[in-house]
Copies of this chain bind each other. A is one copy, B any other.
Amino acid sequence: MKVLDKNTEKKILDAAKTVFIKKGFDGARMQEIADEAIINKALLHYYFRNKDKLFDAIFSDAFVKFIPKIGETMLSQKHFFDKIKLLVESYIDMLTRNPHIPIFILHEINRNPQRIIQILSKGGANPEMIFKVINTEIKKGTIIPVKPQHLIVNIIALCIFPYAGRPVIQGFIFKNNNKTYQKFLKERKTEVSNFIINAIKKK
């Protein structure tokens, strides 16, 4: 009975997300996505003409999540250190909900760097405003002189890496203990912002 069924398109997108994110574009099989969605393979091609089209739908959705909403947070009226805390916390929260997105995005972007140029051409980033905010704080004397570019990259690096590099870190540093690693990830919400604030705070 159709009414009870989840919208087929949604079923396909969910299945495709699972498979693409786990296996990457090259490793994913249309048949596997069909199986995961419990539908006929031809139906995939009925809804999404081909593998590329289906992939694009998944990718662009994941990519939005991957780029933190750094602008909104930075332009608010809070104290600079609170902005950092907020940014780190909300970004790590998002990564906790979508832990496999980082490697997926990083790998696929690398496989096809052209894609990023397309994304940018559709009006993507405006880092200048953020640079400005950071430079203002330097002039105000809240923080020591740092190149804004490095600060931004550092913040994102510290948030993302434990998710992108999870198997390695968990293996080498945590003797593959899953629970300990979960605890570690939770700790980072405060640990990372403290680390950053310490690194740039003027005394």
Residues of A within 8 A of B (CB): 23-27, 66-67, 100, 103, 105-107, 109-111, 113, 116-117, 119-120, 124-125, 127, 144, 146-147, 149-150, 152-154, 156-158, 160-162, 164-169, 171-174, 176, 184, 187-188, 191-192, 195-196, 198-200, 203
Q: A125-B172, A172-B125, A188-B150 are in contact. Are A165 and B23 (CB under 8 A)?
A: no
Q: A117-B171, A199-B199 are in contact. Are A191 and B26 (CB under 8 A)?
A: no
Cα distance, A110 to B104, chains bound together (Å): 9
Residue contact B203 to A107, C-beta cutoff 8 Å: no
Residue contact A147 to B191, C-beta cutoff 8 Å: yes
Residue contact A116 to B168, C-beta cutoff 8 Å: yes
Residue contact A120 to B191, C-beta cutoff 8 Å: no
Interface of A is mostly: helix
14 further A-B contacts with Cβ under 8 Å, apart from A26-B27, A124-B172, are A23-B26, A100-B110, A103-B106, A103-B110, A106-B107, A109-B167, A117-B176, A127-B172, A146-B191, A149-B173, A150-B184, A153-B162, A196-B199, A198-B200
